[in-house]
Structures are given as C-alpha cells and as structure tokens.
Structure 1
Amino acid sequence: MKTTPEHDSRIAKMTFASVYPHYITKVESKGRTKAELHQVLAWLTGFNDQKLQALIDEKVTFETFFAQANLNPHAHLITGVICGYRVEEIQTPLTQQVRYLDKLVDELAKGKKMEKILRKT
C-alpha cells in the first residue's frame, strides 16, 4: 500500500515523546499496564526502560527512534489494518515500523494475550 510522501514525512518528524503518553492512556484505559506497554516496546525495538526514557527526554523523532532500534526479526509477522493502512503492505520502511508499533499498542489495548502480541515463529 502506498502512502503519500507528505504522510511519510509527517510521521518521520513526529516525536516519540508526543505519542508515548497517548499509548499509555490507551492501554491503561483498557486495563493493561505501562509495564506491559514497555514489554511490547522492548520486543519490537530492543529498548529497555532506561533507553526509552532517554529517547523521550531527548524528544527524538520517530525517524531517530527507529534508526536506533534493533527491530525484532519477527516484526514482519505483524499484520492487519491500523489507521486505514494494511501494515504488511506499507512500502515506506519507517512508516511501516511506526504502524507496527501502533498495531501492537492496539492489540495490547484490545486485550490480546501477550504471547500472541509478541509473535513467535
């Protein structure tokens, strides 16, 4: 699925720190925890709590956030629709990675079991 260059640029320039509180609110409002959110973030990116906090404090863009991430080799198993896009069909790597994260947060908020969220082959 093709996204527009404007859409991709907007996502790349958005800061992780600006979105992170929304992730917490979303999962906590559905009975999940910040610790579970951090587990999902660690699975996708390889970031521990200290690194996440440093990236938040530095107000890094998603471009920098994912450039520093060690993306999980099973991330390609994340499929489905998020924000009107089928994640497995997004052609721009950074946009796809951000939508992977959005999809995982959505699954966590919807009460999906952690074993299913943290895809295993």
Structure 2
Amino acid sequence: MSAPPTGATDTATPGDAAVRAELSRLRDSIDNIDAAVVHMLAERFKCTQRVGRLKADHKLPPADPAREARQIARLRELAESAKLDPGFAEKLLNFIIAEVIRHHEQIADDVVANGGGTP
C-alpha cells in the first residue's frame, strides 16, 4: 500500500468530528515534539562545535572512534529501555556523528587556513 501523495489530507466522514479532533490533538503533540527535537539538536551542535574548536586548537583528530562506539552502545541501551528500535537509534546517532565529524574537519581546516588563530 502506498502513502498518500504529498499535500493530501485525511478525510473522515462528516460524523467523525471526534476523530478529527483527536487527530488534530495528536498532530499538535507531534509538532511540539518535532520542535523540541530541533532545539535539542541545535544545542547539541553548539556543544560539538566547541569540542571541534578545542580539538582543532590542540591538533586532535576530528573523529574519536572509541567514544563513538561507547555512545552508540549507550544510545542503543537507552532506546531499548524507552521501547524504541535500537537499530533506528543507532542509525540516527551515526547520521549525527557523521555531521559532527564533518563540522570538526571544517573547523580544523579553518584553523589551519587562519594560521592557528580564531576563524
């Protein structure tokens, strides 16, 4: 079964006002959670940018495979206890880690390009 086309809306019979109201309430909750996730990711990336700068200033490598492995194991455990698919949680963290490493590499390149000064 395929998903409805983008922009399609759910339709309920005219007597299903309660269904539409519940659907709206649930979607409002989802929208709020999505906003919180975005804000949490923004805060996380602010911290990882500072880590990247510290690593660049001290000529440390952008990636830390041992820490990444510990974080993945930790997140998988958290996911299991939260009844979330650990495989999904791992994929999400791997995506975030890849982006963090990309940022760290860019910061290191900027530090080198600026002769070690603040980019």
Give the TM-score of the pair, scaled to structure 2. 0.27
Higher RCO (CA-CA < 8 Å; seq separation 6+): 1
When you count helix as a share of all residues, which structure comes out higher? 2
- Greater radius of gyration (CA): 2
How high is the TM-score relative to the length of structure 1? 0.27
